[in-house]
Structure 1
Amino acid sequence: MIDSVSIVVIDDNLGSLELLSAALARPGLEIFTASNPVDGIELVKQHRPRLVLTDLVMPGMSGLEVLDHVVAFDPAIDAILMTAHYTTETAVAAIRAGAADYLQKPVKLSLLRERVSALIDSAARRQRAHSGAEMEFEGLVARSDKMWELFAMIERVAPHFRSILIKGPTGAGKDLIAQALHLRGGLKGRFVVLNCSAVVETLFESELFGHVKGAFTGADRDKAGLFDLANGGTLFLDEIGDMPMATQAKLLRAIQNQEVMPVGGLTPKRVNVRIVAATHKDLKSAIAEGKFREDLYYRLAMVELAVPSLRDRPEDIALLARHFMRKFAHEFAKPIDGLTPRATLVLERHSWPGNVRELEHVIGRACMLTEGHLIDVDSLPDHLVQPERLNGAAPDDCGFGTTLTLEEQEKRLVTQAMKEADGNQSEAARRLGIGRDALRYKLKRYDLL
């Protein structure tokens, strides 16, 4: 809980206003109410609450307009919209506009309390993350603003989405993001996974929709498809860009109609399945090349989540390294307590083309090789320890091969890149082969800003 938490409730129905206030009342929570939007906005400006609850349809100003005022005043304030005319599409639109949640009236009071508590707790986690503490979100650990913005979006859309597209480089953790969406969605069904790049083209339809006995040679019995297995839950389609065009058309119909037709069957089956698709490819380019259906893309991308590269969130590298170190130390039954400062610096200096998966493999290897209580550079792969050249400069030109520490060497590299780029951070980041946010992190670290 955050100290001195306050909430503003806005509803033109006085009965609803009284009911909501009574339902949320608890020690440590201060509630301010307004029966019209203008007064409600003034309360927001006066008290800067942690949370705003507002009706969607009100005389003079809609809840979306109230949301615009709240976001413009302080984007950190969470807002929940309430309406008697709930649809998934309007819920997603409200969340895209900045709403933290979107509830149907009459609001179930138990659900309202649950969502409000979750938002307040989430704000507390963000505060702890910014203070430097290790934070976990459904198995994901992070400290960076980029990842906590992603976690906040997951919390907002998870109860409402029908389909979501996750984009990001290979190894960035798209599968864990998909699982977090499933867990935060409160679904009772299973989380079912299909790696589209690992399926033979002729078997796609059977894998997804199942088949009946005798549908083709070798079909000696009925077989349930993944849509059946995921009924009431989530179907995660990893590397959706590798799905054949013919299957894409049938997948689109299944998502739109929530019906599947088994191969060889005559009667469609009703299903209730949420779809999470993921890709490292540029699907818009694939559409232009005729390799991906545009209508399927827009159906999947009602909500898009972008998972950043590890090099663009350098403050998470040491955190993840310790997380994996504990995991593998336990798995290998080794008394490893941490990493040396120079080993940590080597990890932070690497560009991580394989992202979190590469880091996990590096730490797993290091844990196998380490004989003492700390992981040092001698347990890291040679390609991490050996400095890379910068624009063709020899290692000695950058201060390597001298008595400089690794930290001093990195500072010299960053300084040189900024000098060659005439102070242009984007150009300096390109020269170093890192993201602009990663460069800003290093500039702050070495007091070069």
Structure 2
Amino acid sequence: MNEVEKRLKEILSYKTIRKIFDALDEGIIIVDRDYNIIFYNNTLTRFEGLESKNVIGKKLLEVFPSLTPEESTIYQVIETGRPIFNRYQQYLNYKGMEIRTLNTTIPIVENGQVLGALEISRDVSEVYALSQKVLELQQKLIGKKPRSINVGLKYSFDSIVGSSKKIREIVEVLKKVAGTTSSVLIYGETGTGKELFAQSIHSESPRKNRPFIAQNCAALPETLLESLLFGTTKGSFTGAEDKPGLFEQADGGTLLLDEINCMGLSLQSKLLRVLQEGVVRRIGATFDIPVDVRIIATTNEKPSELLKSGRLRSDLFYRLSVIYVEIPPLRERPEDIEELVSFFIKKYNAKFGKDVKGVDRQVLNIFREYPWPGNVRELEHVIEGVMNYVDGGYILTGDLKYLSFGSFRDYIEKKPDPAIGVKSRVDEYEKDLILNALRSTGGNITRAAQKLGIKRQSLQYRMKKYGITKEL
């Protein structure tokens, strides 16, 4: 290998490397540890409009003054030593020309030390313009008829199912928060119901009769998301028309930015400006439009991890998290499962015209043991799936085998069948009698024992045996 490496070094002279990089469709820039540009190929010259001789030897931010260290992929890679793949970036060069690229940035490391970074850039300006045309055509096809305010708003705090301490505490806090205008950041795993809480805040607020608009930041490419949020000005690109963005449409109301962790850093900086100054500027415009919008943002990744990896601007995080809420995953509140199951059974009884009474005790035990990686949404899907072929009575363990999707099905298949002998049935019946007696006496053990016709000590023994507590 040493001989091969030696021969490779002889072949790959600077002149050869230059020819190879200049022949690529992608732009190549190399920056040293001190952020000096030491290589800049002709492809970058074509779509950034800068001559190599005017760039090499200069500091990165001198050539691209609109970037900040927090927004620059090269800065992030040199500081962290970790590569960044396919990151969208929008910036101005020192001539004021707007550049839109998709970048992959790789650290240059030798002997464990970061010596610089190499960035491969693909010009996406034409793709951006094309996507804008598509968006404009969609707008024309849909028509200019305004949508009804809050047509998709369907949740309030009364919609939140769960009596666990964690959920009730969150509800009480958010009811107080609803009356203010502060920004809210909600963290929760996928399926925990973040939008339910966001809608509840709006429904309880003085803005409840004003627009509530939700936008998933992961659902669209960043170029389209920018136009959707900020709006466009006629002439800003071919076919563009004057069109208000979601900030203007939500004026006086609430804008929910779902999965804010998927928003690029460039767009994050523009969002920060709206939060700080209360104005929005449409793409291509030269003037600001004042807006009064309450921002609620959600993320399915821990903010601490997003800040650590540089995917969330710290200044934006502090602006958004004036009120910060963590929705606990379902596995951390198993006491809510029975209530949720009853709620979903009632929902799908009405929807499917069924008469399912509930779930068997063994099914409920399985539900309590399963970790629910998809949280409440996964539980609802399981109930919906089972109720497609159960018409009435109780859902039994045997009914679960017909499920044909997801990790829950895998869990059921791997789980050994419980012994269903005479003793287990008697134990289950005895446990239900004790639970019913305790519920009817408000958890009073003495009265429950009298009702069951057994001694208090005997009831306590059985409660311990079945893992029953007074807190029912």
Same fold by TM-score, threshold 0.5 exceeded?
Answer: yes
Q: Deviations over 1:110-163 (max 9, x none)?
A: xxxxxxxxxxxxxxxxxxxxxxxxxx9331111101100000001111111420
Write the distance in 2 (CA, Å) between the matches of 1:242 and 1:228: 22
Secondary structure at the counterpart of residue 318 of structure 2: helix
Q: Which residue of 2 aligns with 1:243?
A: 263
The code of the aligned residue for 1:270 comes to P
Q: List gaps (5 residues or longer) in structure 1.
A: 1-135, 389-394, 410-441
Q: Does 1:373 align with 2:393?
A: yes
The code of the aligned residue for 2:395 comes to I
Q: Which residue of 1 aligns with 2:343?
A: 323
Instruction: Compute the TM-score of the two structures, normalised by the length of structure 2.
Output: 0.54
Q: Which residue of 1 aligns with 2:379?
A: 359
**Cα gap change, 1:303/1:334 in structure 2, threshold over 3 Å: closer, same or farther?**
same
Q: Which residue of 1 aligns with 2:363?
A: 343
Q: Which residue of 1 aligns with 2:159?
A: 139
**Structure 1 residue 447, shift from structure 2 partner:** 4.5
For residue 282 of structure 2, the aligned residue among 257, 262, 265 is 262
**Structure 1 residue 443, shift from structure 2 partner:** 8.7
Write the distance in 2 (CA, Å) between the matches of 1:444 and 1:154: 39
Q: Does 1:200 align with 2:233?
A: no
Q: Which residue of 2 aligns with 1:211?
A: 232
The code of the aligned residue for 2:230 comes to F
**Cα gap change, 1:386/1:401 in structure 2, threshold over 3 Å: closer, same or farther?**
farther
Q: Does 1:308 align with 2:328?
A: yes
Write the distance in 1 (CA, Å) between the matches of 2:255 and 2:465: 42
The code of the aligned residue for 2:263 comes to M
Spell out the pairing of 1:48-447 with structure 2 (5 A cutoff): 137-187=157-207, 188-219=209-240, 221-380=241-400, 381=403, 382-386=409-413, 388=415, 400-401=418-419, 403=421, 405=424, 446-447=467-468
Write the distance in 2 (CA, Å) between the matches of 1:334 and 1:284: 45
Q: List gaps (5 residues or longer) in structure 2.
A: 1-155, 404-408, 429-462
**Structure 1 residue 197, shift from structure 2 partner:** 0.8
Write the distance in 2 (CA, Å) between the matches of 1:250 and 1:358: 35
| Sequence identity (%) | 39
Instruction: Compute the TM-score of the two structures, normalised by the length of structure 1.
Output: 0.57
8 Å contact 2:157–2:197 — kept in the other structure? no
**Cα gap change, 1:304/1:405 in structure 2, threshold over 3 Å: closer, same or farther?**
farther
Write the distance in 2 (CA, Å) between the matches of 1:218 and 1:290: 36
Determine which structure has more spread, i.e. the larger CA radius of gyration. Answer: 2
Q: Which residue of 1 aligns with 2:49?
A: none
**Cα gap change, 1:222/1:405 in structure 2, threshold over 3 Å: closer, same or farther?**
farther
The code of the aligned residue for 2:226 comes to E
Q: Deviations over 1:89-126 (max 9, x none)?
A: xxxxxxxxxxxxxxxxxxxxxxxxxxxxxxxxxxxxxx
Secondary structure at the counterpart of residue 368 of structure 1: coil
The code of the aligned residue for 1:335 comes to D
Q: Which residue of 1 aligns with 2:83?
A: none
Write the distance in 2 (CA, Å) between the matches of 1:331 and 1:354: 23
8 Å contact 1:171–1:356 — kept in the other structure? yes
8 Å contact 1:346–1:406 — kept in the other structure? no
Secondary structure at the counterpart of residue 278 of structure 1: strand
The code of the aligned residue for 1:190 comes to P
Write the distance in 1 (CA, Å) between the matches of 2:246 and 2:337: 36
Secondary structure at the counterpart of residue 379 of structure 1: helix
8 Å contact 1:227–1:260 — kept in the other structure? yes
Write the distance in 1 (CA, Å) between the matches of 2:395 and 2:425: 16
Secondary structure at the counterpart of residue 385 of structure 2: helix
Secondary structure at the counterpart of residue 388 of structure 2: helix
**Cα gap change, 1:301/1:407 in structure 2, threshold over 3 Å: closer, same or farther?**
farther
Q: Deviations over 1:270-324 (max 9, x none)?
A: 1110000000112222222222211000000111011001111111101011111
Q: Deviations over 1:198-221 (max 9, x none)?
A: 1111112211111122222342x2
8 Å contact 2:188–2:327 — kept in the other structure? yes
The code of the aligned residue for 1:362 comes to V
**Cα gap change, 1:285/1:150 in structure 2, threshold over 3 Å: closer, same or farther?**
same
**Cα gap change, 1:405/1:193 in structure 2, threshold over 3 Å: closer, same or farther?**
farther
8 Å contact 1:168–1:308 — kept in the other structure? yes
Q: Tell me the C-alpha RMSD between the 2 structures.
A: 2.6
